């Protein structure tokens, strides 16, 4: 059991590391896109003398800030803290519908499904 727990924790850590690495890689491309878009929109706003052209920068900046916080900031620590808070103070939100799975309920489902397959 201890080996299984260690293996599961290693897999979780590796998946989290992959998610962070993916976010950092995505941020490089999105950062380049955001920089080019901001420069182009600013040039367009100056050329057309219309500040309304800059409006797309607002949602793009929120996406950029989120990705930066995920890749290099404290977003994962804040998510972990909130998850711990939910586990400690709001555990009723985590209950499964119809309660936890039991061996008997799984066997009942298995038997009903095997009857469906044998009737065909």
| pLDDT surpasses 80 at 112 | yes
pLDDT at residue 119, as a whole number: 62
| pLDDT surpasses 60 at 97 | yes
pLDDT at residue 99, as a whole number: 87
Q: Are 34 and 60 in contact (CB under 8 A)?
A: yes
The CA distance from 106 to 11, in Å, is 27
pLDDT digits (tens, 9 = 90+) for 14-71: 999 999 999 999 999 999 999 999 999 999 999 999 999 999 999 999 999 999 999 9
Q: How many residues does the chain have?
A: 120
Q: How far is CA 114 from CA 58, 101, 104, in A?
A: 55, 19, 15
pLDDT-derived band at 100 (thresholds 50, 70, 90) equals: confident
| pLDDT surpasses 60 at 81 | yes
Helices (H), ranges, 1-120: 2-48, 57-72, 75-89, 103-119
The pTM assigned to this predicted structure is: 0.72
């Amino acid at each position: 059991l201890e080996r299984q727990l260690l293996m599961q924790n290693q897999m979780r850590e590796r998946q989290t590391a992959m998610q962070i690495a993916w976010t950092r890689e995505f941020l490089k491309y999105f950062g380049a896109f955001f920089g080019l878009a901001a420069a182009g929109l600013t040039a367009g706003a100056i050329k057309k003398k219309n500040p309304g052209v800059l409006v797309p920068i607002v949602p793009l900046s929120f996406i950029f800030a989120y990705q930066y916080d995920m890749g290099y900031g404290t977003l994962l620590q804040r998510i972990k803290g909130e998850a711990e808070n939910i586990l400690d103070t709001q555990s009723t939100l985590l209950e499964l519908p119809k309660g936890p799975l039991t061996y008997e309920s799984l066997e009942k489902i298995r038997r009903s499904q095997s009857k469906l397959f044998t009737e065909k």
